[in-house]
């Protein structure tokens, strides 16, 4: 649900930024045309407005890209694998603060020996 809302937000922002970019390009084009017609005052006005628009839309697209990367890396879980040395029972769960490799955690549900953490790793992206 939260993911879907974010997706829509990104979509709208990207469309909006592209719109601003297109409008700014059109302003710059128009400024060149008015320069050719000798209207230097509206040339500078449109050119400056157009350049500001281009800068704004590019910076907002860049921010968006960074945010998407941050969200992608945050949605990856850190996983902890526990293994029983006696019977090889294996358990994968989410990382908890205080986990470290070789830490004894709890009794093995199969043979009651100690489970020990064998691996802590970041889940690979689902793509």
Residue 6 vs 88, nearer CB to Zn ion: 88
Window contacting Zn ion (CB under 5 A); options: 13-21, 25-33, 61-69, 87-95? 87-95
Alpha carbon distances (Å) from 11 to 15, 67, 76: 6, 13, 22
* Other C-beta atoms lying within 10 Å of the C-beta of residue 57: 21
Alpha carbon distances (Å) from 107 to 84, 94, 96: 9, 18, 17
Contact between 111 and Zn ion by CB under 5 A: the answer reads: yes
Residue 92 vs 111, nearer CB to Zn ion: 111
Contact between 27 and Zn ion by CB under 5 A: the answer reads: no
Binding region for Zn ion (CB under 5 A): 84, 86-87, 89, 108, 110-111, 113
């Amino acid at each position: 649900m939260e993911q879907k809302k974010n997706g829509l937000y990104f979509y709208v922002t990207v469309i909006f930024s592209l719109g601003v970019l297109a409008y700014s390009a059109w302003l710059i084009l128009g400024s060149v045309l008015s320069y050719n017609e000798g209207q230097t005052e509206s040339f500078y006005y449109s050119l400056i407005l157009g350049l500001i628009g281009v800068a704004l839309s590019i910076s907002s697209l860049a921010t968006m890209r960074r945010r998407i990367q941050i969200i992608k890396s945050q949605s990856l879980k850190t996983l902890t694998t526990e293994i029983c040395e006696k019977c090889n029972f294996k358990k994968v769960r989410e990382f908890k603060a205080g986990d470290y490799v070789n830490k004894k955690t709890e009794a093995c549900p199969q043979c009651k020996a100690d489970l020990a953490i064998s691996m802590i790793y970041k889940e690979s992206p689902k793509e």
